[in-house]
Structure 1
Amino acid sequence: MRKRSLLVTASLAAPMLMTRRYAAAAQRGVLRIGYQKASVTLVLARNKGVFEQKLNRLGYDVDWAEFTSGPPLLEALNAGAVNFGFTGEPPMIFAQAAGAPIVYVAATNPSPRAVAILKPAGSQLRSVHDLAGKKVAVAKGSSAHYLLAAALATAGVPYQQVTKIFLQPPNARAALSSGDVDAWSIWDPYYAGAQAAGAQVLTDGTGLMPNRAFYSSTRDFATRHPDALKAAIDVINQVEAWEAQHIAESAADIAPQIGLPAPVLKTWFDRQKYGVYGLTPEIFVGQQKIADAFFKLGLIPNRIDVSNAAWNA
């Protein structure tokens, strides 16, 4: 009788145990990370599996999606295809102006030398002033888009006097090489790759823009999953600390994913500054300046207060 009782108890317990397991699985969250080739820390972190190690312990799975630039990444964020991403300064502004429920989670150190306006080898262009009446390739709504606007304003060239050819980086590089455009406004590592192939610098972002990058999420995800976002920033800081001390190794590690030789990537790393920080009033002052410039140029439909998109952890 005791043996039958134990068998009955076990038969009843098994479905209950499976039900609990399925319930636990259903309750697991998912951190869907959007990244670009420019987000070297995220590429390194993906290679090393460190997000999975940290987030799995908190009950989250991790998915990854690669994008060519910030604007399509934020479109995916707005659509729910990703819930954590890395972009430059302007994409956040364009997304907020379009009504996307995005929030700033953290910011990087400024790296103004990591974005530039390039001309092809042998070009007769001598300065940004010479871009009047010329065609410039640029990704619309990107950090390079703001660099172009700021550089033209500083040189006294009306924005409308330059023909903007809106292209994503791979197509823009081809257009520069073929002579279909006169210049290309672009960020690293594409900048370093074009430079290694002979392109020359008209100007970089020094004195024109901070060129920060931002980690972002949606208001809903940030409200419901602050633990996942805090853990993600912890992971990023750990990877950045390692990366800063192992530049050559980092370049060799991510070269296959980026599609550029390690020495070219090292040029990029030498131009960027490491460190990820919480949001400060100074950061939002810089963002507001960019947003106001885009509004005056008619590139966004309304004036926005960028600080309204801050995430209070």
Structure 2
Amino acid sequence: MKNIVGVGIVFCLGVIGLFYFHPLELANDSGKPSVRIKIAVSQTPLSSPFIVASHFNLFEKRNLNIEVVPCFGGVACAEALLNDEVDFATASESVVMFKSFEYQDIALLTCFVESGSDLKLLTKSISNIRSVSDLKGKRVGIVKASASEFYFDSLLIANNLKAMALERVYLPPQELNRALLEGQVDAVSVWEPYGYLLMSTSEEILNLSLDGIYQLTFNLLTRDATEAQLSDETVEILTVLENSIEWMTNNPKQAQDIVAKALDIPSAQLAWQWEDYTFRLSIGNALLSNLQLQSRWAIDSNLVEGSVPDFRQVLSPRALEQVLHSQVRRP
């Protein structure tokens, strides 16, 4: 059985004395033959620890044979995992929640970033929509079964508009901006970088968001069988993420330059988002509560069928615990 250790396991990044590691010094002396591992990584700044790790070849330096498989959004990444196309995937806790109603073998290994303003509800100012209540009878572009949908419904609930009639138009994340600009929908619930791109390319965009209403987490997922088979490799992957985040913390400007170039986005855009991100490895009761809350919302909204999954079985802190309690800390 997977157990949550204590109140929660949180890895706080630190530097001992005057020693600041350089990623190029990372090494693994195990000599163990590498296993080909595929990780579906969402093409978003939320995935920065993976982007930085790939840039400095940190996985290879721990004798990991990693293939990063790009995907657009956590839904697509999770589907690649559940279709056995990859071994690991990155996704928000909302995606984990939805998929747990369908699959009983999802293992959430760690959260690696949190953000309180990554989601936004945007509309065109010329549409005469000035508040969430003005969306009555309108079309709203949403990424189905994702943080996009949970955030939108959270806004409805916060404005006491849960029962308001409107049309949900489900689209892939990369199609939402175009749908709004071309008039196919009246508003969109989007995550970054799509929100920034929309707001920076058109002066007609109005932000209907409410900061702090939803705390997004991005997480590393696998399946039970994979975790059991690749237990040693899982620990090594988390160790790489740990060191990648430490380097990002000590070198924020350089990290932003690397990520902006990898994602082909303006540096100003990434700097605008960066302050909203808290990068750290963690897993605990706050995440558990968030999953339980969202699952009850999904049932009440008739988005899923069945009872609330036992998310204590989904959270799997074993590998992270091993990293935290490792006596040898070397980058």
Structure 1-normalised TM-score? Answer: 0.84
Q: How big is the shift at 1:293?
A: 0.4
* Corresponding residue to 1:189 among 193, 211, 231: 193
Distance 1:179 1:191 in 2: 17
Report the 3-state secondary structure (helix = DSSP H, G, I; strand = E; otherwise coil) of the residue aligned with 1:126. coil
1:276 and 2:281 correspond: yes
Q: 1:242 to 1:204 in 2, by over 3 A?
A: farther
Cα distance between partner residues in 2 of 1:241 and 1:283: 22
Counterpart Cα distance in 2 of 1:134 and 1:40: 35
In structure 1, the residue matched to 2:77 is 73
SS at match of 1:50: coil
Shift in Å, 1:159: 5.3
Q: Match of 2:55, as an amino acid?
A: N
Q: Which residue of structure 2 lines up, in the alignment, with residue 162 of structure 1?
A: 166
For 1:52, the equivalent position in structure 2 comes to: 60
2:39 is the counterpart of 1:33: yes
Candidates 235, 245, 252, aligned match of 2:257 = 252
Question: What is the DSSP-based 3-state SS (H/G/I as helix, E as strand, rest coil) of the residue aligned with 1:273?
Answer: strand
Q: CA deviation at 1:109?
A: 4.7
- Using the TM superposition, give the Cα deviation of residue 48 of structure 1 relative to its aligned residue in structure 2, in angstroms: 2.1
Deviates more, 1:240-249 or 1:67-76: 240-249
Per-residue CA distance 1:201-226 (angstroms, 9 max, x = gap): 201451x2221111111101111222
The percent of aligned pairs where both chains have the same amino acid is: 18
Higher helix share: 1
Counterpart of 2:124 in structure 1 is 120
Measured after TM superposition, the shift of residue 309 of structure 1 is 1.1
Aligned partners of 2:198, 2:85: CA distance in 1, in Å?
A: 31
Aligned to 2:93: 89
On the 8 A contact 1:128/1:202 being kept in 2, the answer is yes
Greater relative CO (CA pairs within 8 A, separation 6+)? 2
The match for 2:310 is: 305
Q: 1:212-227 alignment to 2 at 5 Å?
A: 212-227=217-232
Residue among 220, 235, 244 paired with 1:239: 244
Rounded Cα–Cα distance in structure 2 between residues aligned with 1:44 and 1:281: 28
Partner of 2:137: 133
Q: Distance in 1 between matches of 2:145 and 2:289?
A: 19
For 1:48 and 1:193, locate their aligned partners in 2 and report how far apart those are by CA, in whole Å: 28
How far residue 244 of structure 1 moved from its aligned partner, in angstroms, is 2.9
Determine which structure has more spread, i.e. the larger CA radius of gyration: 1
Q: CA offsets, 1:111-139, max 9 Å, x none?
A: 11111111224442222222221111111
Whole-angstrom distance in 2 between the partners of 1:291 and 1:94:
7
Name structure 1 gaps, 5 residues minimum. 1-23
3-state SS of paired residue (1:275): strand
Aligned AA for 1:119?
T
CA shift for structure 1 position 28: 4.0
Contact 1:115–1:188 (8 Å) recurs in 2: yes
Q: Is contact 1:37–1:189 with CA below 8 Å preserved after alignment?
A: no
Aligned residues: 283
Distance change in 2, residues 1:255/1:121 (3 Å): farther
Provide the alpha-carbon RMSD of the alignment.
Answer: 2.0
Unpaired runs of 5+ residues, structure 2, are 1-30, 319-331
Asked if 1:42 corresponds to 2:40, the answer is no
